[in-house]
Amino acid sequence: MRRRVPYPPEKALLLTGALFSKEDTYIKALGCLEECFGEAVMESPAIQWDFSEHYKEELGGPIYRRFIFFRKLMEQDQLAAGKLKTCEIENTLSRDGKRTINIDPGYLTVAKLVLASTKDYSHRIYLTDGIFAEVTLSFSKDKQHYVPFAYTYKDYCDERYLRLFSIARSLLLFLSRG
Protein backbone atom coordinates (compact mmCIF):
# COMPACT_ATOMS: atom_id res chain seq x y z
CA MET A 1 0.00 0.00 0.00
CA ARG A 2 1.29 3.43 -0.94
CA ARG A 3 1.80 5.76 1.91
CA ARG A 4 -0.18 8.99 1.54
CA VAL A 5 1.74 12.17 2.18
CA PRO A 6 0.03 15.56 2.21
CA TYR A 7 1.34 18.15 -0.19
CA PRO A 8 1.99 21.68 1.01
CA PRO A 9 -0.62 24.12 -0.29
CA GLU A 10 0.25 26.63 -2.97
CA LYS A 11 1.25 30.08 -1.85
CA ALA A 12 -1.50 32.68 -2.07
CA LEU A 13 -1.89 36.34 -2.95
CA LEU A 14 -2.42 38.30 0.26
CA LEU A 15 -5.11 40.96 0.06
CA THR A 16 -6.85 43.33 2.39
CA GLY A 17 -10.21 44.99 2.00
CA ALA A 18 -10.42 48.35 3.75
CA LEU A 19 -13.54 50.34 4.65
CA PHE A 20 -12.92 53.98 5.60
CA SER A 21 -14.39 57.46 5.31
CA LYS A 22 -11.23 59.59 5.35
CA GLU A 23 -8.51 59.18 2.72
CA ASP A 24 -5.76 60.23 5.14
CA THR A 25 -6.74 57.36 7.44
CA TYR A 26 -6.49 54.97 4.52
CA ILE A 27 -3.03 56.31 3.60
CA LYS A 28 -1.81 55.82 7.19
CA ALA A 29 -3.23 52.30 7.21
CA LEU A 30 -1.59 51.50 3.87
CA GLY A 31 1.79 52.49 5.32
CA CYS A 32 1.21 50.23 8.32
CA LEU A 33 0.08 47.36 6.09
CA GLU A 34 3.18 47.67 3.91
CA GLU A 35 5.36 47.63 7.05
CA CYS A 36 3.69 44.35 8.09
CA PHE A 37 3.17 42.60 4.75
CA GLY A 38 5.59 44.20 2.32
CA GLU A 39 5.05 46.17 -0.85
CA ALA A 40 1.54 46.63 -2.22
CA VAL A 41 1.61 45.61 -5.86
CA MET A 42 -1.97 46.56 -6.79
CA GLU A 43 -4.71 48.75 -5.31
CA SER A 44 -8.29 49.18 -6.36
CA PRO A 45 -9.76 52.64 -6.73
CA ALA A 46 -11.84 53.91 -3.82
CA ILE A 47 -15.42 52.86 -4.51
CA GLN A 48 -18.26 54.29 -2.46
CA TRP A 49 -19.58 51.53 -0.21
CA ASP A 50 -23.32 51.62 0.40
CA PHE A 51 -24.10 47.97 1.07
CA SER A 52 -24.98 48.47 4.75
CA GLU A 53 -25.38 51.10 7.45
CA HIS A 54 -23.46 48.83 9.86
CA TYR A 55 -20.17 50.78 9.92
CA LYS A 56 -21.49 54.33 9.46
CA GLU A 57 -21.68 55.24 13.18
CA GLU A 58 -18.15 53.98 13.78
CA LEU A 59 -16.36 55.06 10.60
CA GLY A 60 -18.41 58.11 9.61
CA GLY A 61 -19.55 58.66 6.07
CA PRO A 62 -19.55 58.36 3.23
CA ILE A 63 -17.72 55.03 3.41
CA TYR A 64 -15.35 53.84 0.71
CA ARG A 65 -13.88 50.41 -0.04
CA ARG A 66 -10.41 49.72 -1.40
CA PHE A 67 -8.61 46.45 -1.94
CA ILE A 68 -4.85 46.12 -1.63
CA PHE A 69 -2.86 43.19 -3.02
CA PHE A 70 0.68 42.48 -1.83
CA ARG A 71 3.69 41.39 -3.89
CA LYS A 72 5.05 38.79 -1.46
CA LEU A 73 3.01 35.60 -1.70
CA MET A 74 1.91 34.17 1.61
CA GLU A 75 1.63 30.74 3.16
CA GLN A 76 -2.08 30.03 3.58
CA ASP A 77 -1.61 29.04 7.23
CA GLN A 78 -0.56 32.62 8.03
CA LEU A 79 -4.07 34.06 7.57
CA ALA A 80 -4.88 34.19 11.29
CA ALA A 81 -1.60 35.99 12.04
CA GLY A 82 -2.45 38.48 9.29
CA LYS A 83 -5.88 39.15 10.81
CA LEU A 84 -4.32 39.76 14.24
CA LYS A 85 -1.94 42.29 12.65
CA THR A 86 -4.80 44.12 10.91
CA CYS A 87 -6.67 44.25 14.23
CA GLU A 88 -3.59 45.92 15.75
CA ILE A 89 -3.53 48.47 12.93
CA GLU A 90 -7.24 49.20 13.40
CA ASN A 91 -6.64 49.70 17.14
CA THR A 92 -3.66 51.98 16.51
CA LEU A 93 -5.72 54.19 14.18
CA SER A 94 -8.82 54.24 16.43
CA ARG A 95 -10.04 57.54 17.87
CA ASP A 96 -12.19 57.96 20.98
CA GLY A 97 -12.72 54.21 21.22
CA LYS A 98 -14.00 53.91 17.64
CA ARG A 99 -12.30 52.44 14.62
CA THR A 100 -11.54 54.84 11.80
CA ILE A 101 -10.90 51.99 9.36
CA ASN A 102 -12.01 48.38 9.02
CA ILE A 103 -9.36 46.10 7.51
CA ASP A 104 -10.17 42.53 6.53
CA PRO A 105 -7.31 40.38 5.26
CA GLY A 106 -7.72 37.40 3.04
CA TYR A 107 -5.97 35.50 0.34
CA LEU A 108 -6.60 34.58 -3.24
CA THR A 109 -5.63 31.30 -4.88
CA VAL A 110 -6.36 30.18 -8.40
CA ALA A 111 -9.41 28.37 -6.98
CA LYS A 112 -10.82 30.62 -4.25
CA LEU A 113 -10.84 33.81 -2.20
CA VAL A 114 -10.68 33.27 1.58
CA LEU A 115 -11.37 35.96 4.19
CA ALA A 116 -10.43 36.09 7.87
CA SER A 117 -12.89 37.16 10.55
CA THR A 118 -13.09 37.51 14.31
CA LYS A 119 -16.74 36.44 14.14
CA ASP A 120 -17.90 32.83 14.05
CA TYR A 121 -20.81 31.64 11.95
CA SER A 122 -22.06 28.39 10.43
CA HIS A 123 -19.97 28.71 7.25
CA ARG A 124 -16.73 29.69 8.98
CA ILE A 125 -13.96 27.44 10.23
CA TYR A 126 -11.94 28.19 13.34
CA LEU A 127 -8.23 28.70 12.73
CA THR A 128 -6.55 29.87 15.95
CA ASP A 129 -6.40 32.76 18.44
CA GLY A 130 -10.06 33.74 17.93
CA ILE A 131 -9.77 33.93 14.14
CA PHE A 132 -12.08 32.20 11.66
CA ALA A 133 -11.85 31.73 7.89
CA GLU A 134 -14.48 31.54 5.18
CA VAL A 135 -14.26 30.71 1.52
CA THR A 136 -15.99 33.79 0.06
CA LEU A 137 -15.61 33.20 -3.68
CA SER A 138 -14.85 30.18 -5.83
CA PHE A 139 -13.28 30.31 -9.28
CA SER A 140 -15.55 28.89 -11.98
CA LYS A 141 -13.64 27.38 -14.90
CA ASP A 142 -16.85 27.45 -16.97
CA LYS A 143 -17.48 31.17 -16.37
CA GLN A 144 -13.78 32.08 -16.14
CA HIS A 145 -14.30 34.28 -13.09
CA TYR A 146 -14.96 34.02 -9.36
CA VAL A 147 -18.50 33.31 -8.20
CA PRO A 148 -20.10 33.97 -4.80
CA PHE A 149 -21.88 31.65 -2.41
CA ALA A 150 -25.26 32.25 -0.74
CA TYR A 151 -23.53 33.68 2.35
CA THR A 152 -20.99 35.87 0.50
CA TYR A 153 -21.03 39.52 1.56
CA LYS A 154 -23.06 41.50 -0.97
CA ASP A 155 -20.21 43.80 -1.95
CA TYR A 156 -18.06 40.80 -2.87
CA CYS A 157 -20.83 39.85 -5.33
CA ASP A 158 -20.50 43.22 -7.12
CA GLU A 159 -19.35 42.81 -10.73
CA ARG A 160 -16.65 45.46 -10.28
CA TYR A 161 -15.09 43.46 -7.45
CA LEU A 162 -15.44 40.16 -9.30
CA ARG A 163 -13.54 41.67 -12.26
CA LEU A 164 -10.89 43.00 -9.87
CA PHE A 165 -10.39 39.56 -8.34
CA SER A 166 -10.02 38.02 -11.80
CA ILE A 167 -7.27 40.56 -12.55
CA ALA A 168 -5.69 39.71 -9.20
CA ARG A 169 -5.81 36.02 -10.16
CA SER A 170 -3.73 36.85 -13.25
CA LEU A 171 -1.33 38.76 -11.00
CA LEU A 172 -1.06 35.71 -8.73
CA LEU A 173 -0.25 33.47 -11.69
CA PHE A 174 2.43 35.94 -12.81
CA LEU A 175 3.98 36.26 -9.33
CA SER A 176 3.90 32.48 -8.83
CA ARG A 177 6.25 32.03 -11.77
CA GLY A 178 8.95 33.70 -9.72
What is the per-residue pLDDT across 34-69, written as a single tens digit (0 to 9) for each? 999 999 999 999 999 987 777 888 898 899 999 999
Domain for residue 67, yes or no? Answer: yes
Domain for residue 164, yes or no? Answer: yes
Domain for residue 113, yes or no? Answer: yes
65: domain range? 13-176
What is the per-residue pLDDT across 89-114, written as a single tens digit (0 to 9) for each? 999 999 998 999 999 999 999 999 99
Question: Three-state SS string across 3-25, please?
Answer: CCCCCCCCCEEEEEEEEECCHHH
Domain for residue 33, yes or no? Answer: yes
Domain for residue 56, yes or no? Answer: yes
Number of domains in the chain: 1
